[in-house]
Amino acid sequence: MKREGTLAIVEDDPFLRDQLFWALKERFDVKMAGDATAGLSLLDADPDVLLVDLRLPPSNQVEEGFSLVRASRERRPETPVIVMSGEAERKHALKAVELGAFDFFKKPFDKGELLMVVRRALERRRLILENRALREESVERHSFESLVGKSAPMRKLFRDIGKVSPTDATVLIHGESGTGKELVARALHQGSARAAGPFVAVNGSALPESLAESELFGHEKGAFTGAVAARAGRFESAHRGTLFLDEVATLSAAVQAKLLRVLETRSFERVGGTRLLSVDIRLVAATNEDLEKKAARGEFREDLFYRLNTVILGLPPLRERREDIPILVDHFAARAARAHGRPPKTFAPAAMEALLAHPFRGNVRELEHLVEMLTVMVEEPEVRPEHLPGVMRREAGAAVPVLQAGEPFPEAVARFERELLVRALEAAGGVKAKAARALGLDTNQMKYLCRKYGI
């Protein structure tokens, strides 16, 4: 007889475990475990359905079963979980369903009812995987939202978004400034069951430290000078939707502590309030810093880091996916043309070569602004090298730097970077702000590099 699927059973009672095995073995491949720890290891085998007793060793408390349900939903969201419970523990079974279990059945079990529940779970898994396959196929062809790219790093990112977006897992997006972290967050929201709910974005670095807590969690009337009326914060505004918290590493220690509490309890008080408010949100955080290193140095709460670290999506800088530049240019040129009522520009091969040679330290945002500027300022239908900023023309015409005899690679890179800075400053008449704009740097980056190289 053809097997219908693989079942993993976690049950500490050996007699009941044997009953389940004999009731299911003719139709399914059955794997078994007798405690919560062994049950977790069964998830690595990627079973089609997981059957879980709630009271499991080592504690024999229902929390063991609840923890296993949570772990399964985080690690194998496509695997339906069926909970087993006694008649007197129906409320615990219902709580497990709230935590993400697919269904439950009573002990002692009826074989016909058991088979029906298992087959319904298998059908649920089939539909989830089929939907995922169709979504990934669409991603490969068209990309997500305004995220554009065909390079290997971007195709991997699209597949990861497709896997993560249907879940409620907390996501941490890591990437340099200008790479499109908010676009990833919006794609996660649009691909989730919360897509009809609000998407609320907030930049942690843009919040004054004195007002950050009020902005995020709201305040009551009279909570501080100027609080003339009660005001809901971003968490309340994102209820039943997604909250995107960019530059999370910049939050103060006090705000980090309150954020941790919200993630643990899904509740908080407004500033100046005593009423506990519950909120249902999915948190997507983003940073351009190494949070793990900051936590190790005591500059970021370690417990909050592990809460945010559930799923990490890395967004590659543009210099690591240069093959995407031509299609990004076409995408931005078409969008800028629509926005400004101009015909879309084409780019001469030599102009495109100059773009491919540029370091784009401002990443995709720098490229987008450049294409928009060219769409507005260039009168001819084709963009040629002479239309590009001077630094790009010089980069395209410059000889490729080579290692000097015995020169280590890092020193050669530093030498080339310094030469770029010197040429940009010469072209800008020594005005650092102007040179920074030409190089796609912000003023702080420019000041740092000038100090670094003694310019």
Asked if 416 and 430 touch (Cβ cutoff 8 Å), the reply is no
pLDDT at 7 over 70: yes
Give the separation between CA 308 and CA 78, rounded to whole angstroms. Answer: 21
pLDDT at 370 over 50: yes
Asked if 191 and 306 touch (Cβ cutoff 8 Å), the reply is no
If you search the block for the tokens 């928009």, which residue do you land on?
372
Asked if 257 and 215 touch (Cβ cutoff 8 Å), the reply is no
Q: What's the one-letter identity of residue 42?
A: L
The 3-state DSSP class for residue 52 equals strand
Distance of alpha carbon 38 from its chain centroid, rounded? Answer: 30
Q: Which domains does the chain have, with CATH numbers?
A: 6-131 (3.40.50.2300), 148-316 (3.40.50.300), 318-398 (1.10.8.60), 402-455 (1.10.10.60)
Distance of alpha carbon 398 from its chain centroid, rounded? Answer: 38
Q: What is the pLDDT of residues 16-29, one digit of tens each?
A: 999 999 999 999 99
Neighbours of 222 (CB within 10 A): 12
| 162: nearest Cα among 179, 146, 139 | 139
Q: What is the pLDDT of residues 212-233, one digit of tens each?
A: 888 898 888 877 777 778 888 8
Strands 382-383 and 281-287: unpaired
Strands 346-347 and 29-33: unpaired
Q: What is the pLDDT of residues 27-55, one digit of tens each?
A: 999 999 999 889 889 988 889 999 999 98
User: What percent of the chain has pLDDT above 70?
Assistant: 92
pLDDT at 58 over 60: yes
330 token code pair: 């076409």
Cα atoms in the Cβ-side hemisphere of radius 13 Å centred on 345:
27
**Alpha-carbon torsion, ordered 294, 295, 297, 299, to 10 deg:** 70
What ranges make up the beta strands (E) of 87-175? Answer: 103-107, 171-174
